[in-house]
């Protein structure tokens, strides 16, 4: 009975929009990175398998052209050549559509794919799909994926101002091992 009451209360709070609920657990370090097939801002399809043999920064973010998301994207943009020098592809993912991603990428000169996860399937597979204040979004989390297609690092807490540099430093350390 207690479990039913707890579930009912959680559902009521979710509907009211006062809590955030993640729908799955993110894959941890060493786990295979879930594959997907998503279009970018230019209509090109991308999957994790496309990048086998390379490092991938797969960063999820809530919404195009919002303050924290813009800061994070521009930080990755500003470090894109350092990531390229380490043979690492940056992929941004949100639940926004291709047109929104295209406007966002053009406005800020983002030189990497922004993937449109409009169904939320990739966000669900990575455990970052969330309901916040009545909206379904991807949580701001990042996965550093190794050339074998496994999660090397999962960043559950992200500071948009410093995150790109943190991931870059971790990538350099992992490649030096």
The domains located in the chain, with CATH, are 19-176 (3.40.30.10)
Q: Give the model's pLDDT for residue 134.
A: 85
CA distances from 27 to 21, 35, 66, 89, 150 (A): 17, 12, 27, 19, 9
The structure's pTM equals 0.85
Is 69 marked active-site? yes
CA pair distance 158, 73, nearest whole angstrom: 12
* Residue range 131-168, pLDDT digits in tens: 888 889 999 999 999 999 999 999 999 999 999 999 99
Q: What is the dihedral of CA 81, 82, 84, 87, to 10 degrees?
A: 170
Instruction: Tell me which of 57, 69, 93, 114 is the catalytic residue.
Output: 69
Q: Give the model's pLDDT for residue 94.
A: 98
* Residue range 165-177, pLDDT digits in tens: 999 999 999 999 8
* Residue range 26-63, pLDDT digits in tens: 998 999 999 999 999 999 999 999 999 999 999 999 99
Tally of CB atoms within 10 A around 77:
18
């Amino acid at each position: 009975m207690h479990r039913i009451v707890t579930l009912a209360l959680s559902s009521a709070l979710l509907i009211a929009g006062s809590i955030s609920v993640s729908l799955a657990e993110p894959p941890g370090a060493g786990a295979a990175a879930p594959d997907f097939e998503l279009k970018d801002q230019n209509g090109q399809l991308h999957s994790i398998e496309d990048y086998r043999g390379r490092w991938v920064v797969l960063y999820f973010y809530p919404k195009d052209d919002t303050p924290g998301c813009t800061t994070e994207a521009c930080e990755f943009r500003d470090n894109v050549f350092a990531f390229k020098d380490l043979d690492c592809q940056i992929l941004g993912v949100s639940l926004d559509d291709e047109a929104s991603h295209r406007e966002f990428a053009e406005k800020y000169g983002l030189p990497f794919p922004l993937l449109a996860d409009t169904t939320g399937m990739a966000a669900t597979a990575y455990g970052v799909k969330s309901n916040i204040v009545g909206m379904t979004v991807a949580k701001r989390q990042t996965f550093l994926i190794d050339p074998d297609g496994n999660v090397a690092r999962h960043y559950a807490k992200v500071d948009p101002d410093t995150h790109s540099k943190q991931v870059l430093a971790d990538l350099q350390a992992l490649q030096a091992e």
